[in-house]
Amino acid sequence: MRTSTTVDGVTRTVTEPEWDDDERDYMLALAAWEASLCPVCGGPAEECQAPDADRRFKGVPPVRCHRTDAVRRFQEKSSTYPRPEALIWHAEVQG
C-alpha cells in the first residue's frame, strides 16, 4: 500500500509492506507445515513415510459420498443436457 502526503508543495510517498511481521510469520509457519505433509495422502510425512509405517496402517473399505452418487446417477440417466461438462451439477436434500 502506498500513502502520499503533501507538505509545502512537496509530495512524499511511502510504500508500506503488504504483510506485517505477524502475518509474515504466520505465512512462513503455514508454508513449513504444508511442506511437512505427504504429497500423496496429505497426512504428516513423518507418520506415513516412517520405515515402520507399513505395520501401522491397514486399508479399510471406502465410504460413499451419497451427494456425488446422486449427481452421477442423474447424469447417467439424463441425456437431455448438451455439453454436460460445462454444467454445474448439484444435489438437493429430499424433503
Number of structural domains found in the chain:
1
Q: Look-up: residue for cell 504483510? A: 19
33 in any annotated domain: yes
pLDDT of residue 56: 87
The answer to whether residue 76 sits within a structural domain is yes
Distances, alpha carbon 28 to alpha carbons 16, 37, 45, in Å: 19, 15, 18
pLDDT along the chain (95 residues), means of 10: 75 82 94 96 93 89 95 87 86 87
What is the pLDDT, as a whole number, of residue 11? Answer: 82
Domain of 66 in residue numbering reads as 2-86
| pLDDT for the residue numbered 1 | 65
Q: Is 92 inside a domain boundary?
A: no
Decide if 59 is inside a domain: yes
Amino acid 7: pLDDT: 77
Give domain status of residue 91, yes or no.
no
In a domain, 93, yes or no: no
- Name the one residue in this structure whose C-alpha cell is 451427494: 67
What is residue 3's DSSP assignment? E
pTM: 0.49
Q: Is position 79 within any domain?
A: yes
Question: 8: which 3 cell numbers?
Answer: 509545502
